Amino acid sequence: MPSFLVLVLSIATVIGVVIVAIRLLLKKKSHELSERIATITSYRDIQEHREKELSQSNKSFFIDIETDLRNNFNGHIISYSEEEQFTKYYTEFFHEANSLLKSLEAFHIEPSEIISKFTHDFGNIHSIVKRHNEQVIQDTLDTHKDFFDHCLKYPLDKQQRRSIVSEEDNCLVVSSAGSGKTSSIVGKVRYLIDIKHINPQSILLISYTNKAAAELTERMDIAGLRGYTFHKLAIDIIGKATGQKPSICDNTDALFVKIYHKLLEDEDFKKSIVEYFVDYQVQ
C-alpha cells in the first residue's frame, strides 16, 4: 500500500511539473509573440518599401490594426481588393496568435492585452473598413457639396453622389429608365476630372448602343473624351494596332444563312441537324 501511494504521488508530481513547465513555456511564447506584434512593420511602410529601401530610422511600427489602417488609408476609400491585401498582410500573425490563444485558454492563462486586441481587431477588419469608408464618404460629400449641387443643371441626389465618390473596384448602379443613371455617369466623369484631377484621356466611356455613346459624348462636352460602344472601341484598337480597320459585314443574317447552307453539304452535319429538330421538344 505505501508503495502504491508513493507511485501515485510520483505520477502526480511529474504531471504537476509538466503542467508548470507547459504554463511557463506558453507564457514565454505569449510574451515573445506580444513583442513581435508590437514591432510589426506597419502596412504602409511595407507598401512604400516596394518602391524604395527604408532606413531603420524612418520605419514606423505597429500600434494596432485599426490605427495602421487609418494611417495607411487616411482620407482614402478602401476598395475590396485593398481590404483583401491589408487583411492578408496580418493573416499569418493572426493564425499564430489564435493558435496560441487556444493553448493559453486550455491552461487558464490570461493572454496579453496586445494579443487579445490584435485577434479581436483582425476578426473585425471588415467592420473597421466599413466604418472608415462611411466616414471618408461623408467627409468627401460634405467637402464637395457645392460641386454636387452645381456639376449638372440640377443637384444630384444622395444615391447619385454616393455612387460617384465610390472608389470600389466595381460599382453597380441598378435603377429604372429615366431615373438618372446617365446623369450619374456624367457626374462621375466630371468629379474625376475636376476634383480628382484625372486626365480625360485616361477615362474610357463604354455604352451598349451608338445612341447612348453619342449622348454621353454630347453631354460631357469635354475635349479628348468621347463615348464608345464595345464594337467601335474594338475596331479602333485593331485599326490602331494594325494600321487598317477591319471590314465589317453589313448583313450578318445573310452571312449566317450562307454558312449554314454550306455546312449542310456535309452529311454528318445534316444528320445531326435532322436529329436535333426531331428531338427538339423531347430534350
Ordered per-residue pLDDT tens for the chain, 283 residues: 567 666 666 677 767 767 777 788 878 888 887 888 888 887 766 655 544 444 444 555 678 899 999 988 998 999 999 999 999 999 999 999 999 888 888 888 888 899 999 999 999 999 999 999 999 999 999 999 999 999 988 899 999 999 999 988 888 888 888 888 889 999 999 999 999 999 998 999 998 888 888 988 888 888 888 899 998 899 999 999 999 888 887 778 888 999 999 999 999 999 898 888 887 776 6
Domain end among 79, 109, 126:
126
Domain end among 107, 126, 145:
126
Q: Which residues lie below 8 Å from residue 166, measured CB to CB, with a gap of 6+?
A: 77, 137
Q: Is residue 52 part of a domain?
A: yes
**Identity of the residue numbered 63:** I
Whole-prediction pTM: 0.70
Q: Is residue 179 part of a domain?
A: no
Give the domain extent around 53.
Answer: 14-126
- Cα–Cα distances (Å) from 162 to 125, 138, 140, 237, in that order, read 22, 9, 10, 33
Q: Is residue 265 part of a domain?
A: yes
Domain end among 126, 151, 178:
126
| C-alpha torsion sign, points 77, 81, 85, 88 | positive
Number of domains in the chain: 2
Q: Is residue 50 part of a domain?
A: yes
Q: Is residue 186 part of a domain?
A: no
Q: Is residue 82 part of a domain?
A: yes
Q: Is residue 165 part of a domain?
A: no
